[in-house]
Amino acid sequence: MTHSEENYLKTIYHLGKAQNSAVATNAIADQMDTKPSSVTDMIKKLSEKNLVHHKKYQGVTLSEKGKRVALSIIRKHRLWEVFLVEKLQFSWDEVHEIAEQLEHIKSDKLIDKLDALLEYPKFDPHGDPIPSKNGLLEETAKRLLNEVEIGATGVCMGVKDSSSKFLKFLDKNAIALGNRIKVLDKEEYDGSLKIQIEDRLMHISGVTASNLYVELIE
């Protein structure tokens, strides 16, 4: 399995998860910053290896085998991210690019031992769940903050946009995973929210709210 193949499987997994239907060639090309024709070529290859199902012009879905590989890459990526943050004191906005490389290191034993060193974490630094060794994903009942009713309280459990830009913005505003957030008011006009986060009152934009996951409590 080449790095490129692994990257395609990972991307198809992520896109498929979001849409819950066959993934379009163009969507993959956009996501991977490559050309649709390159995607078609790779799909053909993955299809021959029985890693994806593909009918011409109909998009792709991962086969069971393909899903297994994708989840193992995602597992590695997220475990390495935890390592970088917990053991090497990287900040959460710096780890993605490095984990993007580390996820392709081939050694099951290495990942088992890394998992143990990190004490079997269930989530990565952005709140994304870490697939288990046998490819199971913990599904939590988290919701986007902009979809929560006024008056409800939740704990910030993850980010939808994990770009460095957004993460730095959250740092600057002292918004972190684990923070308790109560929605005090919603502005119809622009979707902005008035929230109580820990002991502070603040206003956040609709864009920001739509990129924060919370798990409701009480």
Residues of the shown chain interacting with a copy of itself in the complex, contacts defined by CB under 8 A: 84, 87-90, 94, 97-98, 101-102, 105-107, 109-110, 113-114, 117
Residue closer to DNA, measured from CB, 54 or 186: 54
Residue closer to a copy of itself, measured from CB, 103 or 128: 103
Q: Name the token pair of 115.
A: 């998992």
The reply to whether 132 sits near DNA by the rule CB under 7 A is no
Question: Closest distance between a copy of itself and the C-beta of residue 117, in Å?
Answer: 6
Pair 81, 94: CB distance under 8 Å: no
Q: Near DNA by CB under 7 A, which window of 40-48, 116-124, 140-148, 157-165? A: 40-48
Per partner kind, with CB cut-offs from 5 to 8 A, the member of a copy of itself, DNA, none near residue 45 is DNA
The reply to whether 2 sits near DNA by the rule CB under 7 A is yes
Question: Closest distance between DNA and the C-beta of residue 32, in Å?
Answer: 7
- Strand duo 193-197 + 200-204: pairing: antiparallel
The reply to whether 215 sits near DNA by the rule CB under 7 A is no
Please select the residue that binds DNA; options are 11, 51, 59, 115, rule is CB under 7 A. 59
Question: Closest distance between a copy of itself and the C-beta of residue 107, in Å?
Answer: 5
Question: Closest distance between DNA and the C-beta of residue 15, in Å?
Answer: 11
